[in-house]
Structure 1
Amino acid sequence: METPKWNQAELTVGQLATRSGVAVSALHFYERQGLISSRRTAGNQRRYRRDMLRRVALIRIAQRVGIPLADIRDALDELPDGRTPGRRDWEQLSQRWRAELDQRIHRLQQLRDEFSDCIGCGCLSIDRCRLANPHDALGDRGAGPRRLIES
Structure 2
Amino acid sequence: MVEVMTISKHQPLSPGEVATRAGVAVSALHFYEREGLIESERTAGNQRRYHRDVLRRISFIRVSQGLGISLARIREALDSLPDDKVPTKADWARLSQGWRADLDSRIDQLQRLRDNLDGCIGCGCLSLKSCSLYNPEDWLATTGPGPRRLLRR
- How far the C-alpha of 1:9 sits from its partner, in A, is 2.9
- Does 2:95 align with 1:93? yes
Alignment-mate amino acid for residue 88 of structure 2:
G
Aligned equivalent of 1:142 = 140
Deviations 1:38-60 (A, max 9, x none): 10000000000011100000000
- Does 2:135 align with 1:133? no
Q: Percent identity?
A: 54
Aligned equivalent of 2:40 = 38
TM-score, normalized by length of structure 2? Answer: 0.75
- Does 2:48 align with 1:61? no
- How far the C-alpha of 1:83 sits from its partner, in A, is 5.1
The aligned length equals 133
C-alpha distance in structure 2 between counterparts of 1:79 and 1:22, whole Å: 23
> What's the RMSD between the two structures over aligned residues?
2.9
Deviations 1:56-96 (A, max 9, x none): 00000100000000000011111232754320111110110
Distance 1:43 1:139, change over 3 A: closer
Structure 2, unmatched stretches of 5+, are: 142-153
Aligned equivalent of 1:18 = 20
TM-score, normalized by length of structure 1? Answer: 0.76
C-alpha distance in structure 2 between counterparts of 1:82 and 1:23, whole Å: 28
Structure 1, unmatched stretches of 5+, are: 144-151
